Amino acid sequence: MWRSVVGRGRLVAHMALFEIGRQVRQPLYWISTILLFLGGVGLMAMDALGSSQVPRNAPTTLAIAVVFLSLPYVVIMAALAGDAAVRDGRSGFQPILQATPIQRWQHVLGRFLGVQAATVAAALVGFCGLLAGSAAPWVQASAMGPYHWPQIALVAAVMVAPLAMSVSAAFFCLAAITRSIAATTTAAMAFLMVFVASLGLLDLLDSTGRIIVSLAEPMGVFALRADVSDMTVEQQALYALPKDSWLILNRLAWLGADLVLLAVSLAFERRDDAAKVRTEPKAAPAPVHRDQAWRIAPSFAGGAWPMFAARLRWELARLRRSPSLWVMVVIMVVVSTFGLRAHTTVDSAPSLPALRILTPELLPWVVLAGLAIAVFHAADIVWRDRDLRVAEIIDASPVTDLALMAAKLASMAVVLAAVAAAACATAFGVQAWQTYVDGRPEVYFVLLVGPLLAPLFVLAATSIAVAALSPNRYVGWGIMAGLLALTAVGQTKGFSHPLWDFMDTPSGSPSEMNLMGDGTGVFWWFSLYWTLGAGALLTLAWLAWPRGLPMGWRRRWIRSRQRLAGRPALVGGALVLAMAAVGTFIFVNTNVRNSFSTDDELEAGMGAFEKAMVPLRDAPGPAIASMRVAIDLDPRRHALTARGDYLLENRTGRPLKTFHLDIPAGLSDWEVRLDGARQEESEYKVVTLTLDRPMAPGEQRRLSFETRIRDNGFGANGGSLGIVDNGSFLHSAAFMPRVGVALGGYLTDSLARERQGLPRERPTRGASDPLAPQRARGGADWLTSDITVTTAGDQIPVAPGRRVFDRMENGRRVVRFVSDTPMQADFSLQSARYHVRRAKAGRVDVEIYYTPGHEMNVERMVAAVREGLPVFEAAFGPYPRDHVRIIEYPAYDDQIAAMAWAGAIPYSEKGGFVADLRKPDAYDYVTATTLHELAHQWWGHQVEPADARGARFLTEGLAEYSALMAMNRLRGPSVGNRGFSLAMSSYFRDSNRRREPEPAIVAVTSSGGENYVAYQRAALALLAVRARCGEDNLHRQLRGFVQRYRFRNAPYPTSEDLMGALKAACPAKDWAALEPTFRDPARRLFIGFTAGPKAGSAPMTWD
């Protein structure tokens, strides 16, 4: 008995070893294995992997890197597993195999184990690439940590090998069922689409749904995600998995699933495959001698169009009957529909299905399906004739190679047009389902159809050309995969210019409010450039078009040279010359009229800038007491001219001999004038003014300036978005000189700072530094302003201050704004074709500037201002201006932000203007966001913090607390607790994702990576003070804090001054318990609102 078992086992082992050898000898296998290794090495060099808190070689980071490395490998594993499952039937070897003593189950089991071993080996090679990359000399040593080898081995054992086993088993089983490699490969691409889509939808599931998905998903990514989210940053740096790991359970579940898949494969193994293949030997082809080949030159005069039309009908018929093609389209529609219906904007609140919201959600899925169709099916239609064994017949038919190629290209264009139509239908269907339709044909074309069709058509044309020039479809797929991989990593050093970064086409940043985007046509110029390049490549494919029996490279080269004379040479030459001309035009724009820098060069430039500017940071300079400026804005020509003057006053307390001006970098021309001053400009556009006669303390002088911005074409990332056809939005720092050195633009990533020889900490003074209170965070003192704006006659400009006049002059609109109330030197300028909703909130004018069709939540914004002003005035003191303006601006690159300036709240068109609050249980984030920005009229625009660590505690922290407090007051404790819960979950989520050490609240300074502290943690800590010490006590101190520092120049308040006010609001015992929350990032808290007569005095618990 045991000898029989051993004998059968040997046969299975023999089949497995044979399969391993067969797989390893395939070019697809060893090329993909090499690419996996190189991909692993390259992935470890990317700065996006790991952080200063979690090294790149940490176990969890390696596990995450395995996921990224495995995604493109899924299709390769599907092809390898599919080939192993159906190879014998396709090759005609099945009858021979059936004549051997090997039983069916031994054969299938051997193939199954062999392909699993081969794919696991390749995956482990890729994992070794990650480890090799971590030790590469070009990887920053400080980005690495110690190697925890037992935990790294656990990653290989639990993540790498089981992932390859599960995926290959699933596709082996699918191939055994369908008996089709094409269907298996299509299923792999469909799986990737569904998998990527589900990553964004996972948060919408309840806990039971997440458990089921985490256990059922074959790659283990969802389980890994759940495990990592349960680990602190410190644990992620040391361990691969937590103790109660979902990934372990997932792997155990899939070990059982592998056995089930094997059983299914055995059940579907067919013995009748022999009847479906030709078993008779094919006759050997007659040798073709060089001196006999291509002697006949057939004439196809007058028949080109009929030939093309006939071939096109045939190609379309084949594609129409291709199930894999339409399966991809159907999956795209289904996946994108679910994704669109689940779209959200801020704080998980649903938005209206406006096209500007749907497009960013829809395009990734459509592009993913389009990539699969353009790459996979384009190569498939080139080599389909040989699969159908009709290549010799077509070779003998009176159809030109040009007609064959053009028909295939046209059929792909029709298919891609169908994909675009399906995408439009999906978007429209989602809008109709939610009873909100805003799409106009031009909006659909600019936001969806154009960005989709242009690159995909170029990709399909390139794929057809590459497939025709390749010896087989697999080499063509490999070349295209390499090109797409280069595109994915194109921003790395040495390969980042869009002129040679394949398909790296700037979008031009259109938005629904401003369909023209940057107005330069950059997207269409690059699309034309790559279209011409694809055309030139198609000309080469025309010369070497594969027909009939396969030919070697030598014979194809000889044939192509013979066919080069005549039309191909003229067409190819014209295309190359046209591509060179367009490329020259693009180069002049990106590298001559604008500057171009790689990421490394940009980082080095920022480092050099900091080294040069830090010594000038504390240089004394005059204050701007008032400013007058006349701004001539021409949206259609993308031009601006600003003429004005500053009234400078020496408030330093000592004579002032020299000071500095910071000139905006994007100016086309500029001029500053100060009587009795010599000017010297540095390479960073910092002008040093040396006075012939020093300014005495208290002395005032006028500095005049004139600046100009002109249309400067486009750069590698597109054109400027400040001045556009509709929706110009400019920060004053873009066109007005600044007194002193601007302190923005510093490197924030500690590893990047270390690479540039800078201290890991940014050059910001501590709150206790004696010099810190002498300079405001914005760099300038409080001032008054007189601003006149001239713009297009059909637009409304908005600038700070009360409106003095609004009139038409020579067909253009001229509006003057005057601010007698102190404001900062920084302000925003907007101009667009607005509608205006005007209302009153007591003595204050409320104005909402919005685009027609975006009025859904305008009344909600008016109500938020009307209700919020009394709450904030009662808590913190009077509102200082006679107006509040909310101004819509175009949302470029998915911007959803709102911001606050003096009396103005610019609001993205993708923010509150599209919130869907029709359901009563939806969180009213429009009101919450409006209240937050309104609170900045006290915190930031009455009290300006010192330029020191903790400055954002005084602005964002107090504003977020004020908004949460007002939401509780206006909407009740249930809504207040909802806002608190969102803030708490947001804080913990972002804290676990941080890339830098978490700062204390009293030291939070930078934006971006520290927002979870500046907004959420600071607000929650202030809520704790409110709950423990009483709202009346807290607000009494905050009101006194505003009165003490309201519109006051140096010394400016620091976070320590605010801590003193908070301390005064609390009994000593309570403050002793509360203070560590502000100073120790590890201290956690919980606080909420309660209903009842003492609403807001909820207890506080600590963990």
For 296-339, write each residue's pLDDT tens digit. 455 555 566 777 888 888 888 877 777 777 777 887 888 777 77
Residue 678's pLDDT band, with cuts at 50, 70 and 90, is: very high
pLDDT score, position 271: 45
pLDDT score, position 145: 82
**Res 514 pLDDT > 80:** yes
Nearest CA-CA partner of 728 in 440, 507, 517:
517
For 379-411, write each residue's pLDDT tens digit. 778 877 766 666 667 666 777 778 888 888 898
**Rg, the chain, Cα only:** 34
Which residues, listed in sequence order, are joined to residue 809 by a DSSP beta bridge? Answer: 812
Q: Which residues contact 609 (CB under 8 A, 6 or more apart)?
A: 684, 745
Residue with tokens 């995408």: 423
For 532-577, write each residue's pLDDT tens digit. 999 999 988 888 777 655 666 666 676 667 677 777 788 888 999 9
Burial tier of 947 (Cβ tally within 10 Å: 0-12, 13-18, 19+):
buried
pLDDT score, position 272: 42
- Asked whether the CA dihedral 157, 160, 162, 168 is positive or negative, the reply is negative
> Measured at the alpha carbon of residue 909, what is the angle toward residues 873 and 350, in degrees to the nearest 5?
85
SS3 track for 1068-1081:
HHHHHHHHHHHHCC
Cis upstream peptide for 920 (omega within 30°)? no
For the chain, give every domain's residue range: 2-270, 305-589, 617-743+766-915, 951-1079
Measure the CA–CA gap between 645 and 656, rounded to whole angstroms: 19
- Phi then psi for residue 976, to 5 deg, are -60, -45
Task: Give the containing element (helix H, strand E) for 888.
Answer: strand 883-889
Total H helices, total E strands in the chain: 37, 18
- As given in the structure block, the two tokens for residue 707 are 């600046």
Q: Are 65 and 43 in contact (CB under 8 A)?
A: yes
Strands 883-889 and 844-850, how do they pair?
Answer: parallel
**Buried (b) or exposed (e) across 640-654, using 16+ Cβ within 10 A?**
bbbbbbbbbbbbbee
**Res 582 pLDDT > 80:** yes
More confident residue, 179 or 430: 430
**Res 995 pLDDT > 80:** no
Average pLDDT, stretch 431-441? Answer: 80
Q: Please state, rounded to an integer, the average pLDDT across all residues of the chain.
A: 83
pLDDT score, position 205: 66
Which superfamily, per CATH, for 617-743+766-915?
Answer: tricorn interacting facor f3 domain (2.60.40.1730)
pLDDT score, position 723: 94
Q: Are 374 and 328 in contact (CB under 8 A)?
A: no
pLDDT score, position 466: 87
Residue with tokens 């070897």: 93
Q: Which residues contact 509 (CB under 8 A, 6 or more apart)?
A: 517, 518, 718, 721, 892, 893
Q: Are 986 and 1040 in contact (CB under 8 A)?
A: no
Nearest CA-CA partner of 119 in 171, 160, 168:
168
- As given in the structure block, the two tokens for residue 1061 are 């006010």
For 237-275, write each residue's pLDDT tens digit. 888 888 788 888 888 888 888 889 888 888 876 544 444
Q: What is the DSSP string of 1028-1097?
A: HH-HHHHHHHHHHHHHHHTT--SSPP-HHHHHHHHHHTS-HHHHHHHHHHHH-TT---B-----STTTT-
Q: Are 365 and 358 in contact (CB under 8 A)?
A: no
Residue 394's SS3 state is helix
For 824-876, write each residue's pLDDT tens digit. 989 999 999 999 999 999 999 999 999 998 998 999 999 999 999 999 999 99
Q: Are 72 and 65 in contact (CB under 8 A)?
A: no
Fold of the domain spanning 951-1079? Neutral Protease; domain 2 (1.10.390)
Q: Are 788 and 958 in contact (CB under 8 A)?
A: no
Q: Are 791 and 836 in contact (CB under 8 A)?
A: no
Highest mean pLDDT out of 8-17, 280-289, 844-853: 844-853
Q: Which residues contact 227 (CB under 8 A, 6 or more apart)?
A: 241, 242, 245, 246, 247
Dihedral angle at the C-alpha atoms of 688, 693, 695, 696, nearest 10 degrees?
150
For 937-965, write each residue's pLDDT tens digit. 999 999 999 988 899 999 999 999 999 99
Strand segments, DSSP code E, in 756-811 are 783-792, 796-798, 802-809
For 887-918, write each residue's pLDDT tens digit. 999 988 666 678 999 999 999 988 888 888 88
Nearest CA-CA partner of 1022 in 954, 950, 948, 1094:
954
Strand segments, DSSP code E, in 270-422 are none
Measure the CA–CA gap between 526 and 502, rounded to whole angstroms: 10
User: Percent of the chain, pLDDT > 70?
Assistant: 85
Residue 93 region, left (φ>0) first, then alpha (ψ -120 to 50), else beta? alpha
Highest mean pLDDT out of 547-561, 798-812, 973-987: 798-812
Measure the CA–CA gap between 1024 and 1086, rounded to whole angstroms: 8
pLDDT score, position 816: 97
Nearest CA-CA partner of 146 in 161, 160, 159, 134:
134
Measure the CA–CA gap between 387 and 753, rounded to whole angstroms: 57
Average pLDDT, stretch 676-694? Answer: 91
SS3 track for 623-669:
EEEEEEEEEEEECCCCEEEEEEEEEEECCCCCCEEEEEEECCCCCCE
- As given in the structure block, the two tokens for residue 149 are 């080898």
pLDDT score, position 738: 92
Burial tier of 1066 (Cβ tally within 10 Å: 0-12, 13-18, 19+):
buried
Tell me the CB-side half-sphere exposure of residue 54, using CA atoms within 13 A: 26
pLDDT score, position 276: 45
Which residues, listed in sequence order, are joined to residue 660 by a DSSP beta bridge? Answer: 688
* Candidate from 361-365, 750-754, 1089-1093 with smallest mean pLDDT: 1089-1093
pLDDT score, position 342: 61
Residue 1077's pLDDT band, with cuts at 50, 70 and 90, is: very high
